[in-house]
Amino acid sequence: MGIYVDPGNESFRSDISSDIYVDKTEMISILNSRIGTNRRFFAVSRARRFGKSMVAGMLDAYYSMGCESKEMFAPYKISASPDFDKYINKYHVLHFDMATFLNDANAYRLKSESLPDSADDEESNRIRMYSNPINLMNDSILKDFRTIYPELINKEIMSVPKAVEEVWKSDGHQFVIIIDEWECVIRDAKDDSDLIMDYLKYLRGFFKTEESKQFLALGYITGILPIKKFDGESAMNNFTEYTMISPKDLAPYFGFTEEEVIELNAKKNYMDIEEIRRWYDGYLMSYVDMTTSEKSRVNLHIYNPNSLVEAYTFGECESYWKNTGAFGGLNNYIAMNMDGLKDAVIMMLTGEEYPVDTGTYQNDLTSFKSKDDVLTALIHMGYLGYDPATKSAFIPNEEVRDIFESAIKVGEWNDVSDALRKSDTLLKATWENNSGKVAEIIAASHQDYTSILEYHDENSLALAIMVSYYTAREHYMIIRELPSGKGFADVAFIPKRGVTHPAMIVELKWDKNVDTAISQIHDKNYDGKLKDYGGELILVGINYDKTEKIYTCRIERA
In a structure prediction context, what are the per-residue pLDDT tens digits for the chain, which is 558 residues long? 899 999 999 999 999 999 899 999 999 999 999 998 999 999 999 988 898 889 999 999 999 999 999 999 999 999 999 999 999 999 999 999 999 999 999 999 999 988 887 778 888 889 999 999 999 999 999 999 999 999 999 889 999 999 999 999 999 999 999 999 999 998 888 788 899 999 999 999 999 999 999 999 999 999 999 988 776 556 688 999 999 999 999 999 999 999 999 999 888 777 889 889 999 999 999 988 887 777 888 899 999 999 999 999 998 998 888 765 555 667 777 777 777 788 788 888 888 899 999 998 988 887 888 899 999 999 999 999 999 999 999 999 999 998 888 888 776 777 777 777 788 899 999 999 999 999 998 887 766 665 555 555 666 677 777 878 888 888 888 887 644 444 444 788 888 877 889 999 888 888 888 898 888 887 766 555 566 667 888 999 998 888 888 889 999 997
Residue at a domain's end among 412, 446, 470: 412
Q: Which domain holds residue 385?
A: 254-412
245 and 268, same domain (yes or no): no
353 closest CA partner among 393, 318, 302? 393
pLDDT of residue 487: 45
Nearest-angstrom CA–CA distance, 159 and 262 = 48
Task: Using the 3D structure, point to which of 412, 433, 448 is the last residue of a domain.
Answer: 412
Q: HEC states along 65-86?
A: CCCCCHHHHCCCHHHHCCCHHH
Residue 14 lies inside a defined structural domain of this protein: yes
Please report whether residue 173 resides in a domain: no
Q: Could you tell me if residue 5 is inside a domain?
A: no
Rounded to whole angstroms, what are the CA distances from 210 to 205, 214, 422? 9, 7, 65
**380 contacts 226 by C-beta, under 8 angstroms:** yes
Asked if residue 504 lies in contact with residue 540, where contact means CB atoms within 8 angstroms, the answer is: yes
498 and 406 part of one domain: no
Compute the distance between CA of residue 308 and CA of residue 107 in angstroms, rounded to an integer.
Answer: 34
Does pTM surpass 0.75?
Answer: yes
CATH number of the domain that 430 lies in? 3.40.1350
**Shared-domain flag, residues 246 and 261:** no
Residues 478 and 438 in one domain: yes
Eight-class DSSP state of 298: E
Residue type, 330: L
Regarding whether 506 and 357 lie in a shared domain, the answer is no
Residue 541's pLDDT is: 92
**Tell me, what's the pLDDT at 516?**
86
Last residue of a domain, one of 382, 412, 442: 412
366 plus 388 within the same structural domain? yes
pLDDT at position 158:
94
Q: Does residue 114 form part of some domain?
A: yes
> End-to-end distance of the chain based on CA atoms, in angstroms?
72
C-beta neighbour count of 191 within 10 angstroms:
8
- Domain presence at residue 187: no
Phi-psi region of 221 (alpha: psi -120 to 50; beta: other; left: phi over 0): beta
- pLDDT of 345: 87
Q: Quick check: is 3 in a domain?
A: no
Tell me whether residue 141 is in a domain.
Answer: yes
* DSSP summary character for residue 5: B
Q: Are residues 277 and 424 in the same domain?
A: no
Rounded Cα gap, residues 205 and 93, in angstroms: 16
Structural domain contains residue 335: yes
Statement to judge: residues 239 and 300 lie in one domain: no
522 and 433: one domain?
yes
524, 481: one domain: yes
Domain count, the chain: 3
Quote the CA–CA distance of 513 and 255 in Å, as a whole number. 49
Rounded CA-CA distance 241/254 in Å is 13
